[in-house]
């Protein structure tokens, strides 16, 4: 019986392998990237994770592109454009012969459809750009875009253009229900397969307007832990990795053939408090009191978080990051900084009636009653969630605020945020080049009043004054004045303690230099190489020819291991065969 | 037979068992190890303060430092003393181990006693349920339970207790069945003794040694389960347990070569589980003459 | 007699399965605070789709209606939708099946080496071989599988670099045929060894006590006393008789090995049932957890049934009992 089992197992292995057909021979050039965050949804009207953005950056080209070096607006799908005299209308001339990855022609109609539909249906990824726009396809290669208001962002048109022939159907019904696994795009790589929680694979698009990429596919492998990812990178199983644990970062930079990058692009990590705008969700009532929010902010030593958790990688800034460009960030006066001051936090709570009446170390609502215990949602993805939680919950306890910790992956955390069933959570944002999208996320419009029309306003915070300022900056063509307005908005946001911005983090990345050349930091010198604003690296990569031997071939260690394994397997077969023979003898 | 005589006889046999156990050098070593860990867990709050390794107070400590004079087992990424955390972690691991075992034994004994003593349809129903729980794979069951219920030490105890009682129930039942048939119970019944009396005076004392052996073998299983559940992220994130320490260390500590962050909690688990297993087997051997060496 | 035995065992297995279904229903639809929410949490479901699913699963009806709906749904092989990407849970599980079957199968074969050790140890009870192998078995039995995994990963994958860090095969590998097989075998070896180390002790201990039990039989004492060659007595008489408990252990152990694989697979990113469980825990993705629990339980119940039937075949006394 033993021998039969062995054979059956071996047989099944063969059967299992057989149907997986690779392309002929080992000619496929694969770039493998390690990540700690999974795509939440490939649907551009639904997803919000940085991972999903990387997917879209590769899959969808934009009318205008962003220069790798400095984000300058450069030709994309459109090769040229002209402005009308009033500056409200732009005419974009598309390149000739553009095609989607499935071979269908990419025309001005696709552009017009995307702009108009995203505006009408308020797709939250597109709407900060297209809200005031109207597009008309004049012919196959000419699209005219008119803004209803003065728009400082134009002529930059960096929204993802979607294939109308794929999306028309879903958009007519409900676009958010579409699984978007079609893999039809106009960027250098398109989605081939997504295995949630494990990996997603993108293949080269032969119809990309800049030409066929020099690598055939990009595999993004999701790691539940940073340590395994870094080991895989060192061993050459990965070519690049994002979100390297800070404590492994310095050492990794000293390894041969590995370059580390702490890419700054204005991203930050924040503690968000549920503002319960419009009474949605079931946040703790105390969070409606600005004093409590200020106390929470002052209870947290953000410099220490930056030093001890981010290990000083990034910037110890505590303002909302809206762009990689620092000019948009205001100087916050000391009086408004809400810096670490636990005594002041305690006094503020005490003076406003939040006293510990039952002596358990946790304060209660004024007049006794519900204790100040906040639900704290921690991310299970990423690498810093646990350490941040240890410190923040400790500090909150010091000022008499209790916490109940739950851990969620990004998909679930997003759903909980949409439902408004949280008090506190820690997460982060990576802004675009223009501050407008990031600023738009905190307008009343972006609050998720109805789960079917989800918005980005994850703190459920709504202020008419802020919204008024948003509209102003959105239409201010004088750059200096616009910067002023943005500064004012960020200061207001800070004073409201909607977010307690913990620090501005840099993307801790590393890549190998022995298999590919052409890694691009965006922007040059300071930015990340992958997961950047428009992800120009991938198309720019060229495989290094000479190192072909380490692809496909197995190292000595592998050989030793395989031989050892084979010996064990043979030994087992012999062992069981002999045993069954001996028992047969016995029966006779 | 008077109660006094029976009592004396039982005490004599317990003393005899202990004498035999004491001759087992391995079991005695295991007992010493175990006592050492229990003492360590008990005195943790006396020699240190929970706040000593609260992350907000360890900002001044070196981070990820290897064992030194100041930190015998080094520190973790937030500068917390590993020695202190392993000590305090023993509290949760042992607490969960013991409480879950108590819950499991209570459940098992109640079901086993009821089934064995009452027989009939009660027996049939209870044994059916026992069989069900016996077959259902225990860790997946614990995982679904722990994910639906609220996180916390109490949940872990409950989950382990609920999932691991059936073998105890079966064991107790079979013992009760054999004891019940013995003459003196019949005689007690003939003399008009109540069921409570029979269970309390005749059956319970006789199954006690068995419960004892079962307990010592159940604790390590409970501890291992707690470790696994915590490692999978189902433990209480605000408490320090050995499994939780291993989860936190993860492959990052392995990669960085910070062995002091993942070896000590693991060694703690192995030693305690091994000690319990050795003692459990020794107790079993002492109680079951058939297992004794030729 | 034989038929009633089989029927009884079958009925037992079916009733256990039914119990698991009821238990599952109870846990996720009664204990759980918000079953509707936890059934479809995905954002990309429209209100009308939600309403339709609510109707389909009878979530608006009484608990009994819900239960009937749940059973119907199960009978159709529908386990609901995963929170991640709204994929059918059945697909998520089906994808993870083969890797786990391979890993568990191979590691079980490795662990079964313990049977041979156990027989030998039981035969020479008290010998140095016996004490050494028994102590070693107890030691490995005391180690959490995932901890063995962490330590071995640190040594053999990270330090020495003999094995890959994890996964089913090299990322983006396009190898086919034999080299693909080799690649996957290479990836499987370390986690398989970890599981084998964790479970070899159990096989060893059970085989040892089975052998000791067998040795009490008079005829063996006699055979040994008659001066038959020790090896012959062991191989021809003792081992076949000591096989029974070992067979049932293998089946029961199946459940443990699958469970053990949960933590080990997560360490080695082996894309099987275990890693699927780990990912679902981190969600938490309740529909997937529910489906996995059902599937693993069913597998273990079947394994137990097979063991019972085999036991009956090998030992006629059992049938009559």
Q: What is the 3-state secondary structure (H, E, C) of chain B?
A: CCHHHHHHHHHHHHHHHHHHHHHCHHHHHHHHHHHHHHHHHHHHHHHCCHHHHCHHHCCCCCCCCCCCCCCCCCECCCCCEHHHHHHHHHHHHHHHHHHHHHHHHHHHHHHHHHHHHHCHHHHHHHHHHHHHHHHCCHHHHHHHHHHHCCCCHHHHHHHHHHHHCHHHHHHHHHHHHHHHHCHHHHHHHHCCCCHHHHHHHHHHHHHHHHHHHHHHHHHHHHHHHHHHHHHCCCCCCCCCCHHHHHHHHHHHHHHHCCHHHHHHHHHHHHHHHHHHHHHHHHHHHHHCHHHCCC
**CATH number for the domain that contains residue C242:** 1.10.3720.10
- Of A19-23, A306-310, B266-270, the one with minimum mean pLDDT is A19-23
DSSP 8-state code for residue A252: H
Q: Pick from A17, A228, A564: which is nearest to C269 by CB?
A: A228
Is B255 in Cβ contact with C151 (below 8 Å)? Answer: no
Q: What is the mean predicted confidence (pLDDT) over C261-276?
A: 86
Q: What percent of chain C has pLDDT over 90?
A: 1
Report chain A's terminal Cα–Cα distance, integer Å.
17
Q: Is residue C54 part of a domain?
A: no
d(CA B275, CA B157): 21
Q: Cα separation of A232 and C318, whole Å?
A: 53
Q: How far is CA A391 from CA A225, B54, B64, B84, B119, in A?
A: 20, 8, 17, 18, 57
From the list A117, A146, A112, A153, the residue with the least C-alpha distance to A132 is A146
Q: Note whether residue C11 is domain-resident.
A: no
How large a percentage of chain C has pLDDT more than 70?
Answer: 71
Rounded to whole angstroms, the Cα distance separating C254 from C244 reads 16
Give C238's DSSP letter: I
Question: B267 touching C, CB under 8 A?
Answer: no
Angle formed by the axes of helices C239-267 and C113-123, to 10°? 140
Contact B127, B138 (CB under 8 A): no
Please compute the mean of the pLDDT values over residues B92-107 and round it to a whole number: 90
The β-bridge partners of A90 are A83, A145
C71 inside domain: no
Mean pLDDT on A33-58: 89
Determine if the peptide bond prior to A523 is cis (ω within 30°). Answer: yes
For every residue of A345-401, DSSP letters joined together read HHHHHHHTT---SSSSSS-BSTTS-SB-EEEEEEESSSSSHHHHHHHHHHHHHHTT-
**Which residues share a beta bridge with A145?**
A90, A135
Under 8 Å between Cβ of A155 and A64? yes
Q: In chain A, what are the domains? A: 56-189 (3.90.76.10), 268-505 (3.10.105.10)
pLDDT at A394 > cutoff 90: yes
Residue A273 has pLDDT above 90, yes or no: yes
Query: In this model, does residue C202 exceed pLDDT 50?
Result: yes
Which is more confidently placed, A474 or C2? A474
What is the spatial distance between Cα C188 and Cα A546, in angstroms, rounded to a whole number?
Answer: 30
A179: left (phi over 0), alpha (psi -120 to 50) or beta: alpha
pLDDT in tens, A96-120: 999 999 999 999 999 999 999 999 8
Question: What is the model's pLDDT at position A13?
Answer: 32
In a domain, C259, yes or no: yes
User: Could you say which residues from 176 to 235 on chain A have a Cβ atom under 8 Å away from some Cβ of chain B?
Assistant: 225-228, 230-231
Residue C40 lies in a domain: no
Going by pLDDT thresholds of 50, 70 and 90, the confidence category of residue C42 is very low
Q: What are phi and psi of C125, to 5 degrees?
A: -60, 135
CA proximity to C314, closest of C217, C265, C245 = C245
Contact state of C285 with A198 under an 8 Å Cβ cutoff = no
What does the mean pLDDT of chain C come to? 77
The separation between CA A132 and the C-alpha centre of its own chain, rounded to angstroms, equals: 26
Q: Is residue C53 part of a domain?
A: no
For B269, the closest of C144, C266, C267 (CB atoms) is C144
Using DSSP bridges, classify how beta strands A373-379 and A424-429 pair: parallel, antiparallel or unpaired: parallel
Q: What is the pLDDT of residue B5?
A: 64
pLDDT band at C174 (very low <50, low <70, confident <90, very high): low
How far is Cα B202 from Cα B220, in angstroms, rounded to an integer?
A: 30
Give the separation between CA C200 and CA A352, rounded to whole angstroms: 64
**Which of the 8 DSSP states describes residue C179?**
H
Residue C276: asked if its preceding bond is cis (omega within 30°), the reply is no
Q: Hey, is A485 helix, strand or coil? A: helix
- Kind plus residue range of the DSSP H or E element containing C225: helix C218-225
Give CA separation, C82 vs A179, A556, C89, in Å: 13, 41, 5
Q: Is B147 on the interface with C (CB under 8 A)?
A: yes
To test the contact with chain C by mutation, choose from A11, A561, A581, A586 the residue with the greatest count of C C-beta atoms within 10 A, namely: A561
The interface predicted TM-score (ipTM) is 0.83
Express each pLDDT in A295-322 by its tens digit: 999 999 999 999 999 999 989 988 999 9
pLDDT of residue A570: 67
pLDDT of amino acid A374: 94
- For chain A, state the CA radius of gyration: 27
Residue A292: pLDDT band (50, 70, 90) is very high
C30 vs A211, more confident? A211
- Residue B266 pLDDT level (bands cut at 50, 70, 90): very high
A25 has a pLDDT exceeding 50: no
pLDDT digits (tens, 9 = 90+) for A547-575: 444 444 455 556 666 667 667 666 666 66
Residue of A583 and A66 predicted with greater confidence: A66
Q: What is the pLDDT of residue C248?
A: 67
Residue range of the domain that includes C290:
91-315
Query: Over the stretch C203-242, which tens digit does the pLDDT of each residue have?
Result: 888 888 888 877 777 666 666 666 666 666 666 666 666 6
Q: Is the pLDDT of residue C7 over 70?
A: yes
Flag if B252 and A227 touch (Cβ within 8 Å). Answer: yes
Q: Is A380 on the interface with B (CB under 8 A)?
A: yes
The residue ranking higher by pLDDT, A353 or C178, is A353
Over residues A337-352, mean pLDDT: 92
Residue of C nearest to B221 (CA): C142
The string of DSSP letters for C37-77 reads HHH---SS--HHHHHHHHHHTTTTS-HHHHHHHHHHHHHTT
Q: Is C61 on the interface with B (CB under 8 A)?
A: no
| Superfamily of domain B20-42+75-293 in the CATH hierarchy | MetI-like (1.10.3720.10)
Nearest chain A residue (CA) to C41: A415
pLDDT of B294: 34
- Asked whether the bond before A249 is cis by omega within 30 degrees of 0, the reply is no
Strand A73-75, strand A64-66: pairing: antiparallel
CA angle A165, A171, A176 (to 5 degrees): 125
Cross-chain CB nearest to B56 (options A227, A248, A395): A395
Which span out of A418-427, B15-24, C33-42, C159-168 was modeled with the highest average pLDDT? Answer: A418-427
Q: What's the mean pLDDT in A518-539? A: 90
Q: What is the DSSP letter of A452?
A: G
Contact C255, A209 (CB under 8 A): no
Of the listed ranges B30-44, B172-186, C79-93, C305-319, the one predicted with least confidence: C305-319
- Residue C59 covered by a domain: no
| Residue-averaged pLDDT of chain A | 84
What are the backbone dihedrals phi and psi of residue A43, each rounded to the nearest 5 degrees, phi first?
A: -80, 120
Domain spans, chain B: 20-42+75-293
Q: Percentage of chain B with pLDDT > 70?
A: 88
- The helix, strand and coil proportions of chain A, stated in percent and rounded to the nearest 5, come to 35, 20, 45
> What are A406's two structure tokens?
């739950």
What DSSP string describes A187-217? Answer: SSEEEEEEETTTEEEEEE-TT-TT---SSSE
Instruction: Write out chain B residues lying below 8 Å of A391, CB-based.
Output: 55-56, 78
Q: Give the per-residue pLDDT at A95.
A: 92
Report whether A505 contacts A250 (CB < 8 A).
no
CA distance B160 to B228: 11
At residue C309 the predicted structure's pLDDT band, cuts being 50, 70 and 90, is confident
Q: What is the CA radius of gyration of chain C?
A: 24
Tell me whether residues A452 and C46 touch, CB distance under 8 A: yes
How far from A554 is each of A507, C162, C174, C176, CA to CA, in Å? 32, 10, 14, 14
pLDDT of C86 > 90? The answer is no
Question: How far is the C-alpha of B249 from the C-alpha of B271, rounded, in Å?
Answer: 20
A424 has pLDDT over 90: yes
Which residues on neighbouring strands pair with residue A508, listed in sequence order? A262
Number of domains in chain C: 1
Task: Give the residue carrying structure tokens 């646990």.
Answer: A386
| Contact in structure between A498 and A489 (CB atoms under 8 Å) | no
Tell me, yes or no, if C187 comes closer than 8 A to chain A by beta carbon: no
Q: At what angle do helices B120-135 and B82-118 cross, to 10 degrees?
A: 150
**Number of Cα atoms under 13 Å in the Cβ half of residue C212:** 18
The number of C-alpha atoms within 13 Å of C180 and in the hemisphere containing its C-beta is: 19
Q: Does B33 touch chain C (CB under 8 A)?
A: no
Backbone φ and ψ for A64, nearest 5 degrees, come out as -115, 145
Averaged pLDDT, C51-68 = 70
Q: Which residue has the higher pLDDT, A220 or C153?
A: A220
Whole-number percent of chain A with pLDDT over 90 = 43
Query: What is the number of H-type helices and E-type strands within chain A?
Result: 17, 21
User: Chains with 3 or more CB pairs closer than 8 angstroms to B?
Assistant: A, C
Separation CA C86–CA C44 (nearest Å): 8
Q: Tell how far CA A565 is from the center of its chain.
A: 41
**Residue partners of C258: CB distance under 8 A and separation at least 6:** B137, B140, C100, C104, C273, C274, C296, C299, C300
C151/B227 touch (CB, cutoff 8 Å), yes or no: no
- Average pLDDT (A374-392) is 89
Nearest CA distance, A301 vs chain B (angstrom): 9
Predicted confidence at residue C214, as pLDDT, reads 76
pLDDT for C159: 76
The answer to whether residue C214 is domain-embedded is yes
pLDDT tens, position by position, A124-169: 788 888 888 999 999 999 999 999 888 888 888 988 999 999 999 8
Q: Please tell me the predicted confidence (pLDDT) of residue A20.
A: 29
Least confident residue range of A300-309, B12-21, C196-205? B12-21
Q: Between vectors from CA B210 to CA B204 and to CA B214, what angle results, nearest 5°?
A: 125
């Amino acid at each position: 019986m033993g021998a039969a089992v062995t054979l059956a197992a071996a047989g099944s292995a063969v059967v299992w392998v057989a149907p997986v057909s690779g392309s002929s021979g080992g000619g496929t050039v694969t770039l493998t990237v390690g990540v700690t965050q999974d795509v939440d949804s490939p649907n551009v009207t639904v997803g919000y994770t940085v991972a999903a953005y990387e997917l879209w950056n590769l899959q969808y080209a934009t009318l205008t592109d962003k220069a790798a070096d400095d984000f300058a607006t450069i030709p994309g799908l459109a090769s040229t454009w002209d402005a009308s005299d009033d500056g409200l209308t732009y005419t974009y001339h598309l390149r000739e012969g553009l095609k989607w990855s499935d071979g269908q022609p990419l025309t001005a109609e696709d552009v017009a459809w995307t702009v108009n539909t995203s505006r009408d249906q308020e797709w939250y990824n597109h709407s900060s750009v297209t809200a005031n726009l109207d597009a008309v396809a004049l012919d196959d290669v000419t699209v005219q875009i008119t803004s209803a208001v003065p728009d400082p962002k134009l002529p930059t048109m960096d929204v993802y253009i979607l294939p109308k022939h794929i999306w028309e159907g879903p958009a007519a019904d409900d676009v958010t229900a579409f699984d978007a696994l079609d893999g039809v795009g106009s960027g250098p790589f398109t989605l081939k397969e997504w295995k949630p929680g494990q990996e997603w694979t993108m293949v080269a698009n032969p119809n990309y307007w800049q030409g066929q990429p020099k690598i055939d596919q990009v595999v993004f492998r999701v790691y539940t832990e940073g340590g395994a990812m870094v080991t895989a990178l060192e061993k050459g199983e990965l070519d690049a990795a994002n979100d390297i644990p800070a404590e492994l970062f310095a050492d990794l930079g000293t390894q041969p053939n590995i370059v580390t990058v702490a890419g700054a692009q204005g991203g930050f990590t924040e503690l968000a408090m549920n503002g319960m705008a419009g009474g949605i969700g079931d946040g703790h009532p105390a969070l409606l009191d600005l004093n409590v929010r200020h106390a929470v902010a002052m209870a947290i030593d953000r410099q220490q978080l930056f030093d001890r958790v981010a290990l000083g990688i990034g910037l110890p800034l505590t303002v909302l990051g809206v762009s990689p460009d620092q000019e948009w960030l205001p100087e916050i006066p000391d009086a408004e900084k809400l810096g670490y001051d636990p005594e002041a936090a305690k006094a503020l709570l005490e003076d406003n009636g939040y006293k510990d009446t039952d002596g358990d170390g946790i304060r209660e609502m004024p007049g006794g009653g519900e204790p100040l215990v906040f639900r704290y949602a921690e991310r299970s993805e990423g690498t810093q969630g646990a350490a941040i939680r240890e410190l923040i919950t400790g500090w909150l306890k010091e000022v008499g605020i209790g916490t109940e910790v739950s851990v969620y992956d990004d998909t679930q955390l997003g759903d909980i945020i949409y439902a408004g069933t949280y008090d506190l959570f820690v997460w982060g944002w990576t802004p675009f080049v223009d501050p407008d999208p990031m600023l738009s996320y905190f307008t009343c419009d972006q609050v998720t009043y109805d789960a079917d029309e989800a918005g980005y306003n994850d703190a459920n915070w709504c202020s008419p004054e802020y919204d008024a300022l948003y509209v102003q900056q959105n239409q201010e063509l004088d750059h200096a004045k616009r910067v002023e307005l943005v500064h004012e908005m960020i200061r207001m946001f800070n004073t409201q303690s909607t977010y307690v911005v913990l620090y501005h983090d840099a993307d801790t990345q590393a890549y190998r230099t022995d298999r590919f050349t052409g890694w691009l930091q965006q922007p040059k010198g300071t930015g990340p190489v992958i997961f950047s604003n428009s992800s120009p690296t991938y198309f720019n990569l060229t495989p290094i020819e000479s190192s072909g031997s380490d692809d496909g071939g197995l190292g000595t260690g592998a050989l030793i291991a395989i031989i050892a394994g084979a010996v064990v397997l043979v030994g087992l077969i012999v062992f069981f065969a002999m045993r069954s023979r001996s028992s047969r003898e016995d029966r006779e | 037979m008077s109660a006094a005589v029976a009592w004396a006889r039982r005490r004599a046999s317990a003393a005899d068992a202990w004498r035999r156990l004491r001759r087992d050098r391995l079991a005695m070593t295991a007992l010493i190890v175990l006592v050492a860990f229990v003492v360590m867990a008990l005195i943790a709050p006396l020699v240190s303060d929970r706040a000593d390794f609260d992350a907000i107070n360890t900002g001044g400590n070196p981070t990820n430092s290897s064992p030194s004079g100041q930190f015998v087992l080094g520190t973790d990424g937030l500068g917390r003393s590993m020695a202190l955390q392993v000590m305090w972690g023993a509290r949760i691991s042992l607490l969960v181990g013991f409480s879950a075992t108590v819950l499991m034994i209570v459940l098992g004994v109640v079901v086993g006693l009821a089934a064995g003593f009452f027989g009939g349809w009660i027996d049939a129903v209870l044994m059916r349920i026992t069989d069900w729980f016996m077959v259902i794979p225990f860790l997946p069951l614990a995982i679904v339970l722990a994910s639906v219920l609220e996180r916390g030490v109490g949940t872990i105890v409950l989950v382990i207790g609920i999932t691991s009682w059936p073998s105890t129930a079966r064991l107790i039942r079979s013992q009760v069945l054999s004891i019940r048939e013995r003459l003196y119970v019949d005689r007690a019944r003939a003399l008009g003794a109540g069921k409570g009396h029979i269970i309390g005076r005749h059956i319970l004392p006789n199954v006690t040694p068995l419960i004892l052996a079962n307990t010592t073998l159940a604790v390590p299983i409970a501890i291992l389960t707690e470790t696994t559940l915590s490692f999978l992220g189902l433990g209480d994130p605000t408490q320090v347990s050995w499994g939780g320490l291993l989860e936190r260390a993860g492959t990052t500590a392995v990669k960085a070569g910070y062995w002091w962050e993942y070896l000590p909690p693991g060694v703690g688990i192995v030693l305690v589980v091994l000690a319990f297993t050795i003692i459990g087997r020794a107790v079993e051997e002492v109680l079951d003459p058939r297992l004794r060496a030729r | 007699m034989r038929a009633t035995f089989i029927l009884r065992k079958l009925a037992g297995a079916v009733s256990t399965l039914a119990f698991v279904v009821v238990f599952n229903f109870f846990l996720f639809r009664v204990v759980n605070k918000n079953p509707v929410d936890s059934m479809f949490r995905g954002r990309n479901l429209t209100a009308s789709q939600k309403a339709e699913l609510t109707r389909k699963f009878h979530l608006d009806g009484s608990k009994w209606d819900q239960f009937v709906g749940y059973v119907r749904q199960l009978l159709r092989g529908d386990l609901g939708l995963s929170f991640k990407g709204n994929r059918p849970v059945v697909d998520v599980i089906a994808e993870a099946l083969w890797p786990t079957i391979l890993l568990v199968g191979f590691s079980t074969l490795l662990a079964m080496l313990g049977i041979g050790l156990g027989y030998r140890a039981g035969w020479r009870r008290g010998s140095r071989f016996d004490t050494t192998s028994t102590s070693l078995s107890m030691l490995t039995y005391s180690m959490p599988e995932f901890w063995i995994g962490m330590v071995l990963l640190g040594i053999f994958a990270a330090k020495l670099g003999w094995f890959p860090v994890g996964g089913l095969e090299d990322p983006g590998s396009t190898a086919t045929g034999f080299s693909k097989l080799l690649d996957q075998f290479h990836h499987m070896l370390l986690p398989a060894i970890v599981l084998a180390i964790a479970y070899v002790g159990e096989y060893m201990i059970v085989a040892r006590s089975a052998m000791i039990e067998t040795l009490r039989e008079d005829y063996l004492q006699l055979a040994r006393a008659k001066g038959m060659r020790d090896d012959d007595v062991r191989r021809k008489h003792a081992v076949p008789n000591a096989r029974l408990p070992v067979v049932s252990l293998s089946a029961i152990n199946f459940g443990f090995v699958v469970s053990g694989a949960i933590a080990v697979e997560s360490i080695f990113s082996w894309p099987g049932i275990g890693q699927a469980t780990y990912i679902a825990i981190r969600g938490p993705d309740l529909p997937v957890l529910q489906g996995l629990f059902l599937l693993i339980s069913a597998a273990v119940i079947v394994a137990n049934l097979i063991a019972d039937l085999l036991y009956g075949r090998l030992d006629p006394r059992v049938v009559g009992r």
